[in-house]
Every structure is written in C-alpha cells, then in structure tokens.
Chains A and B, each alone.
Chain A
Amino acid sequence: MSTEIAKTVDARGSFCPGPLMEIIKAMKTSTVGDVLEVWSNDQGSVKDIPEWINKVGHELVYTENAGDYWKIAIRKMK
C-alpha cells in the first residue's frame, strides 16, 4: 500500500484545540486509504495520537522525530 502523503497538517504551536483535534478534523474530509502526516511540537502527541488511532481503528504508519517537532503519519482505514 502506498505511503505517499495525501495531506500534511502543520499543527505546531497548536495548544488549543491541539494536534489531535487538527488530525481528527483532517481525517473527516479524507478518503479511506489516504495517509495524513501531522506535525506537532507537543510531546503529548506521540502518546495521544496513537491512542486515538488505536481506539478508532486507523493505522499508525510512522512516528518520526524531526528535531524540535514530530511527524506522525496515519492511514485512514474506515
């Protein structure tokens, strides 16, 4: 399956509503199979985004430390 990024969400500096909310927003308008990459400088995202993915049933493609922020890629599964 392709890991080409369909959309990048730059949520750096998003304390409120926060990177997880930004990715939920982006997921709603994406197509099943799309890979979305979210950028976050909140370390909490490394925990709470995979937790949400797991709960809802999407796929965590990768988590990458990009220096002063993280890149987290998610595939929409349903």
Chain B
Amino acid sequence: MSKHVVILGGGVGGTMVANHIARTIPEEIKNGDVKVTLLSNDQKHIYQPGYLFVAFNEAHMGQFERKEKTLLSPGVNLVIDNIVKIDKQAKKVFSDKGTAYAYDYLVISTGSVPTFDTIPGLAEDSHNFYTREGALKLRDALANFTEGKIVVTVDVPHKCPAAPLEMSLMLDDYFRVRGLRDKVDITYTYPISRVHALQSVADWAAPEFERRGINAETFFNLETVDTEKKLAISMEGTELPYDLLISIPTHRGSKVIIDSELGDENGFIPTDRHSLKMIGDDSIYVLGDATNLPISKAGSTAHYQTETVVHNIISELHGLPPRAHYDGKVVCFLESKMDEASFIEFTYNKPPQPAVPSEMLFWFKLAYNEMYWLFARGLL
C-alpha cells in the first residue's frame, strides 16, 4: 500500500525536504509505493534573507523569488491550498475549502510570522526588512534619508540573530559611501547587557561599533513607540528620539499551528532537538522556524535539518528506525560592510567564533544567494 508523505510549507525547509526525498527514492515514487505532496499557500517561493539586500537597494526583489513549481522535482506533487487545520489523531490536514489530505508522515515547515502588534505604535511608525512590503518601503525610506537619527530596535524572540548587527553595520557603510555619515546618527539597541547574545560576536562587534561611531544602547527592551514625539521607549526607562525607526520584530508560529493547538504560547512546536520529531507524535517531523528549538531561526538551520528529516523519513518508509540526529548545526554569514562579511558556524556542542571579516566572505555570501536555488532544488 502506498505511503503518503505530506509536507506543509513551501519555504526553505519544505522545498528542500520534498526535493531530497523525491531525488533519493525516485523509483519508489514512480512505482506509486510512495507519494510526496507539498502543500503551500503561495505559488511563489521567496528567499527571505534577500530582503536585507533589497532594503539597501543592492539587489532587486525578483532575484529572490521563483515560482515554487519551477523548483520542484517531477516526483513532488505540488498543491496550492490554504491549510487551516492539522488533525494529528486522524492523521489528516484540512484546507479552508474543506479538502482533507491524509498522511502517513507529515513534515511541518510552516515558518513563522513577524508580529508588530505587541508594542504600541510599532506597526504605525516603524520600518522593517522582514516582509516583502517592509523591505521595499525601507529601501525607499533609506534612499531618501539624508540626515537625522536612525534607531534600530530588537524584540524577543526574533529571527536570525545576526540580522540586527548586519543592518546597523551596513547602515554605517551605506551612509559613508553616500558621503552623509556625519549627518546621520545611528543607534543600535539590544535587550541584554552586551551587543549580541553570543559573547564572541559581542566581543567582535562592540569595538567595531565604537570605531565606526555607531551608538550602542544595551538593556533596551522596547515597550512602546510614541509616534507623536517620535520616541522609542524601553521597559528599562530609556527614551531614544528617532527620525527613522527600524524594527527587528518578534515573531510567532504560523496561524495553522496556533489554530490546531500544536504550538507553545508563541506558536512554536515542541520538537525533539535531535530526531526533529514533534514531541508526543511519532508521525510528524518539524523543521525550520516552526520548531521551538533554542537555536537561530534562519534558513541555514532549516537547510541542515533537512538532512536529518529526509534520512529519518526514508528509513521509516523502509521499515527501519529513524536514527539520524540533528546536531544543532547553524551557519551564518554576517555582513559587516557593503562589501565585507564575517562567518560563524556552531552546533549544540561547538561554540561559534566569528571569522575575520573579508571581501572574499562577502562575495561568498553573494554567491550563496545565487546558489540557494540549486540547494532548494535538492541539486547540492
């Protein structure tokens, strides 16, 4: 009898898992022993890390978008549908039109959603690079910004912890190149006592900020935005005036996870840190931003988790125990200028150490942006 693997979400994790399964067991799919269905609510596949480059007008949005269908192996059955309910007892997912999809194994890769409504005033008066519209709006605002105060705020939890630093360092270089740096005041804020969660990254970034004249305000947890007076106000009582406010927003799990009551209080799914199975359910795997794992929510995380999920599902399809273990591997490029980058790599057991920033690492990052489409297709 045919086994059905249903993958929910057409982002980095879902697309890679679907393609790798299809490419690893093509005969079983061809014979009808295994069916792989990818359910996505969007015809378009977006490479979200590209938004940072769009915001600085260093790239065009079209470079980071493809039709999902063009990325998939012929063995993957793509269905565009809006899934609103996961019923793990019945082993089915349901769309808003009432269509049911039964599964033997379900892969949840539904990502997360940036949220601006947790802080009064934030949605009305901030810019961001976490949505398509936000990146384009920020691009236009930066292109027309010639003098004044820019404040970068960071809410918790947030995606890719490297991004707030990258934004601030790139802002510095962006205005230097335009000959406006002496007219633009840049303030970076961070919720804890140092400028980054990772001690090694903080040790590298703090003197870099000082050298480049970027103000750093630590212990700053944004509580409210006074849109009249243009003040960012923290729960610690600090008030920062701004002309342009750039928000690193908090995020939560997707609506289908919250509505299906599969997530924690933020909508992230309790997940075994090694097997990547949903805790308490033997038929569901979770990867990428959808998990509750205490590691970076970044594309590379989903990328490395793909290997574990694919290996375990194929083992189970073959009647073998799922023995592959995810070791917590994450790799991040860290843009330090418009033409320079650093790089960090870590696992659950190996602490990170930032590489010396170089132009070569920057070019490697740009190359990865292009190579991503090969990874998504399961070719690399």
Contacts and interface: CB of A to CB of B under 8 A. Distances in A.
A2 interface: no
Q: By CB atoms of chain A within 10 A, which of B197, B221, B236, B266 has the most?
A: B197
Given A20-B197, A55-B219, A56-B235, A25 B156 contact: yes
B17 interface: no
Contact of B296 (A17, A24, A29): A17
A52 B197 contact: no
A13 B156 contact: no
Interface in A1-51: 9-22, 24-25, 28-29, 44, 48, 51
Contacts of B198: 15-16, 18
A44 B294 contact: no
B144 interface: no
B197 A56 contact: no
Nearest to A23: B156
Nearest to A21: B197
Interface string B350-378: 01100000000000000000000000000
Interface string B234-271: 01100000000000000000000000000001100000
A55 to B, nearest CB: 5
Q: By CB atoms of chain B within 10 A, which of A13, A14, A16, A21 has the most?
A: A16
Given A29-B265, A29-B266, A17 B294 contact: yes
B199 interface: yes
Contacts of A16: 161, 197-198, 201, 295-296, 330, 332, 344, 346, 352
Interface of A: 9-22, 24-25, 28-29, 44, 48, 51-52, 55-56
